[in-house]
Chains A and B, each alone.
Chain A
């Protein structure tokens, strides 16, 4: 059950997408999200999804993984779809009318477009986390936020906290799994029973989990101090991010694709 959480799960590989400079990858992902909303006609959306499918292919990430990352947000998708379905009104005749509920053809159109867009958004951002290890990703965030450091914004500290948090997610999941098993072995009912009972049953899991999280934090802080960690100032890196020619070519190709998708909206406004 707990192992199904895929957010932040990294799939090591050596594809073009994997090797792409993380800073550019991050920027492109943000652009892609913007694109999904800017090119909101069916044709633009279809092309954006096609682009994403090609990227997954290039990255050699099994398409099954998209399904896994979409599963947890399914309720949100359904919710948006239902809202759009009932609340978007159009001119013309409603397709369906019952009491105060009315469904217009526009509503159906928006419901479909909206849910497809949200799913593409999740699939797109998942590609980023699948192909970029969390540590590299925080490096990229730190690099992109560096200008804010001039305003005394603690960029390095923030990035360090993020890497530590990301690094410990799998560890804590594993720990939770272990503790749950131990309590289940003593007859705790964690997956059956009423909601209130289940919440109560979580106490034997949460207390040991918190204690071990604090213990770990303590040990980590001690280990960092032992290695003379003192924050970002004057700190050098083992791996310095550098854009290669290949990165610029990939960037250009992606930008051209994005531009093409955006242009398709202007060229074929009726689709």
Chain B
């Protein structure tokens, strides 16, 4: 499959040549294939946000190239808007960018800028609103009357309505309650599944990444530290911990159990899979199999309580 995003030796310096010059990205290269769901993790200040604002040309690389769909986005700076419509970018706390009188109008802002006709805009607004679960009645209300979570969903819909081929979200769940988090993230996942849009999701939550992404890109100190499938990245848990990051809580438990000498796999990243694994292990034990790892002899029945 052809890669839809290709980043080559991307470096970016804020305020070059000034006393406040700071390097934000150093020599980052990677490729994303069409239809991937890529989670981006990294500690604060590792360059995640700078990286994603390069995707649609809001920042111009100090050096290096970015290809979207095989085309260098900075080949002709006058055409950068085309790429802005191809790569939909949802910033952190996007609800602060709402400005229209009604949610409908705000969602229509992007498609309108694309120069689409009324009918098409109407279709897109309704479709985007359906993806994020906004009712018809809410569409006619002012965005400033809504709750934080609803506002956030209006803002996300505003980007989805442009029907970009790549959707980039910078911590879409930040500051929401647990239910709001799950809602918005599963809506994004649903959108990804139904439309086949490539999604890049920045998140601090390893649980979310494990649950929704199929690939993980790890940023550390302005550089690309790892880029691989979820399994292979979380398999390198010690390295992640060294970078000041972590692995999902449930993976930590399994790593600990393994350390204690119980024969369990450690590639467990989500709760449902954890339950399944434990039940399987229990079945194996009930069948008379010895789950204790050789060399060490530690009580095996501890895991029984987990299930």
Contact = CB atoms under 8 A, between A and B. Distances in A.
Do A and B pair up? The answer is: yes
A182 B81 contact: no
B110 interface: yes
Nearest to A204: B99
A185 interface: yes
B113 A188 contact: yes
A211 interface: yes
Contacts of A183: 97, 109
Chain B interface extent, by class? 20 to 34
Interface string B82-121: 0011001101001011110000000001100110000000
Contact of A211 (B53, B109, B144): B144
A185 B109 contact: no
A179 B84 contact: no
A63 to B, nearest CB: 13
Identify whether the interface residues of B are mostly helix, strand, loop, or mixed.
Answer: helix
A182 B91 contact: yes
A62 B144 contact: no
A176 B176 CA distance: 24
A189 B81 CA distance: 9
B97 A208 contact: yes
A155 B97 CA distance: 37
B96 A187 contact: no
Interface of B: 15, 19, 53, 56, 58, 81, 84-85, 88-89, 91, 94, 96-99, 109-110, 113-114, 144, 158-159, 162
Interface of A: 3, 11, 62, 178-179, 181-189, 203-204, 207-208, 211-212
Closest 9 CB pairs of A and B: A187-B113, A207-B99, A186-B110, A182-B97, A185-B89, A204-B99, A182-B91, A181-B58, A208-B99
Given A185-B56, A185-B91, A187-B81, 9 more contacts: A3-B15, A179-B97, A182-B94, A186-B110, A186-B162, A187-B110, A189-B113, A203-B99, A212-B96
